[in-house]
């Protein structure tokens, strides 16, 4: 089974940021003999506050992602929030991601599936691993050839997430590829005064624990300066630390 590694900034902030991260991913790929899929969102439609930065929008964002593919040769992943976005996004990226809050949205899943691209469905914070059989079946029955499932923690109260790593083997009974979202799982949703907090120091341990439970993919949001990132900074991994974390997994 091929090991899937996904990394990139939470949201597109600038072409310069994308270029910096992509260049580093290419270096890591070459040194470690892996393939990291480049991830960035053109729109963060579920920010805590209406005043939070959302991104550059779909049209500009897809152009910037296409430029990354052309310059660096990386495969691409981005997320969609509405069904009509699936077709144009599918023209540019290799993997369409369904956000956790939206993983039960039938029209969104089927639209992504019909593009023919790989569909990565993030497990909702309110579902068990076994519950992900139904989103998976929706995508497969709508025509998706390859569907991945991603663990990102569960909410058991306010402003915190807890990872039940038993979800990973449970989801491996459903899908052949189960990815651990090592950075969103250390979020503290809404816990930072109108924005999401987090504990990035736990990211390496999350990855290793997921490996012990059989995960065959890993998702890392990374940034050269996460303390000044425009989205998800507290839980993003520092770009300089990514290679060391991947080495521990290999």
pLDDT per residue as tens, the chain (250 positions): 578 999 999 999 999 999 999 999 999 999 999 999 999 999 877 766 787 777 789 999 999 999 999 999 999 999 999 999 999 999 999 999 999 999 999 999 999 999 999 999 999 999 999 999 999 999 999 999 999 999 999 988 777 889 999 999 999 999 999 999 999 888 676 544 554 667 778 999 999 999 999 999 999 999 999 988 887 777 889 999 999 999 999 9
| Number of domains, the chain | 1
Residue 238 is predicted with a pLDDT of: 95
CATH code (residue 35): 3.20.20.70
Residues 6 or more apart whose CB falls under 8 angstroms from that of 198 comprise 183, 186, 187, 188, 232, 233, 234, 235, 236
Q: Assess contact for 188 and 212: CB atoms under 8 A.
A: no
Of 177, 153, 157, nearest in space to 166 by CA: 153
Which residues sit opposite 131 in a β-bridge?
none
Residue 47 is predicted with a pLDDT of: 63
Which residues sit opposite 217 in a β-bridge?
4, 179
Q: How far is residue 56 from each of residues 17, 65, 67, measured CA to CA in Å?
A: 13, 11, 15
Residue 43 is predicted with a pLDDT of: 87
Q: What is the dihedral of CA 49, 50, 56, 61, to 10 degrees?
A: 70
Cα gap 147→242, rounded to integer Å: 25
**Taking every pair of C-alpha atoms in the chain, what is the biggest distance, in angstroms?**
44
Residue 171 is predicted with a pLDDT of: 98
Of 114, 149, 152, 146, nearest in space to 134 by CA: 149
Residue 220 is predicted with a pLDDT of: 97
pTM score: 0.93
Of 241, 228, 132, 136, nearest in space to 183 by CA: 241
Domain residues for 133? 4-249
Cα gap 65→60, rounded to integer Å: 9
């Amino acid at each position: 089974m091929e090991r899937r590694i996904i990394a990139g900034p939470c949201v597109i902030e600038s072409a310069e940021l994308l270029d910096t991260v992509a260049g580093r991913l290419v270096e890591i790929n070459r040194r470690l003999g892996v393939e990291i899929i480049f991830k960035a969102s053109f729109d963060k439609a579920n920010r805590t506050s209406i005043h939070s930065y959302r991104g550059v929008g779909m049209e500009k964002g897809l152009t910037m992602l296409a430029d990354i593919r052309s310059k660096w040769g990386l495969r691409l992943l981005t997320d969609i929030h509405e069904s009509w976005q699936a077709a144009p996004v599918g023209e540019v990226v290799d993997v369409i991601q369904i956000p956790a809050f939206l993983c039960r949205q039938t029209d969104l899943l089927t639209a992504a599936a019909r593009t023919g691209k790989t569909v990565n469905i993030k497990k909702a914070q309110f579902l068990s691993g076994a519950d992900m059989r139904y989103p998976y079946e929706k995508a497969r029955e709508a025509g998706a050839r390859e569907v991945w499932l991603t663990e990102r923690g569960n909410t058991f109260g306010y402003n915190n997430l807890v990872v039940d790593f038993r979800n990973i083997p449970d989801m491996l009974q459903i899908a052949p590829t189960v990815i651990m979202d090592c950075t969103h799982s250390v979020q503290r949703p809404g816990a930072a005064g109108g924005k999401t907090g987090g504990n990035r120091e736990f990211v390496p341990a999350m990855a290793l624990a997921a490996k012990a439970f059989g995960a065959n993919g890993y998702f890392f949001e990374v940034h050269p300066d996460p303390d000044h990132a425009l989205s998800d900074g507290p839980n993003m991994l520092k770009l300089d630390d990514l290679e060391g974390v991947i080495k521990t997994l290999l």
